[in-house]
A and B are shown apart, each in its own frame.
Chain A
Amino acid sequence: SAVISQKPSRDICQRGTSLTIQCQVDSQVTMMFWYRQQPGQSLTLIATANQGSEATYESGFVIDKFPISRPNLTFSTLTVSNMSPEDSSIYLCSVELPPNRGVWYEQYFGPGTRLTVT
């Protein structure tokens, strides 16, 4: 399996501000993903972050609102910009391990960042 950490674990932010969430993995992975889980809802993919290339965003998510960095194979950040109360959610990063680290196609999730925007 993979050990994934996220910082911060939770935050309360004022509307109009931005928050950067960090995701750290204990081994090198090619693909990292960022998901959003709105209160009481399922998970929705925001973007896929591959090292050395621009993140790929899903429909309904744009780079200006959710800029992502992927400076190396163990780290990524997601910024939630110009926040509004509708951005209050849990944000989770996930990784897919290469086949020599476990089950082929296994995807693991970080502990999540619980964001409340007031």
Chain B
Amino acid sequence: ELKVEQNPLFLSMQEGKNYTIYCNYSTTSDRLYWYRQDPGKSLESLFVLLSNGAVKQEGRLMASLDTKARLSTLHITAAVHDLSATYFCAVGSEYGNKLVFGAGTILRVKS
């Protein structure tokens, strides 16, 4: 059974600082997703990572995937208040397109 562990679950950052959110998963997968959710809103797709060594960047966020270690990271560079949200990683099940989500990381960026 595919399990996805995300840490930390809560992250309070100062503006301008860097930090990394980690996503570990338990079985082989060919796809990993990062989503952002603002309070009371749906999920916004950030990144889709499909191969070992994949790295994608958008603004202050950079995601990477190591399929051998079954690990993905979401790195935040020089955080700003607008990045405050909950971030989820999700891993595609090998039995189709189903996604198994991590618990989510609540990110709060303080001025």
> With contacts A42-B102, A45-B98, A48-B96 known, is A107 near B45, CB below 8 A?
yes
Interface size on A, residues (CB 8 A): 23
Q: Tally inter-chain residue pairs, CB-CB below 8 A.
A: 52
Give bound CA distance, A110 to B37, whole Å: 12
Interface size on B, residues (CB 8 A): 21
B50:A105 contact, CB within 8 angstroms = yes
Does A27 sit at the interface, judged by CB under 8 A?
no
The 0/1 profile, CB within 8 Å of A marked 1, for residues 3-47 of chain B is 000000000000000000000000000010101000001110100
- Which positions 74-104 of chain A face chain B at CB distance < 8 Å? 92, 94, 96, 103-104
Give bound CA distance, A50 to B56, whole Å: 31
Give bound CA distance, A74 to B92, whole Å: 23
B97:A109 contact, CB within 8 angstroms = no
Q: A31-B97, A42-B103 are in contact. List 11 more A-B contacts (CB 8 A).
A: A45-B98, A48-B96, A48-B97, A92-B42, A104-B50, A105-B31, A107-B33, A107-B97, A109-B42, A110-B42, A112-B42
A interface, CB within 8 angstroms of B: 1, 31, 33, 41-45, 48, 58, 92, 94, 96, 103-112
The 10 closest A-B pairs by CB, nearest first: A109-B43, A42-B101, A43-B101, A111-B42, A112-B42, A109-B42, A42-B103, A105-B31, A96-B97, A42-B104
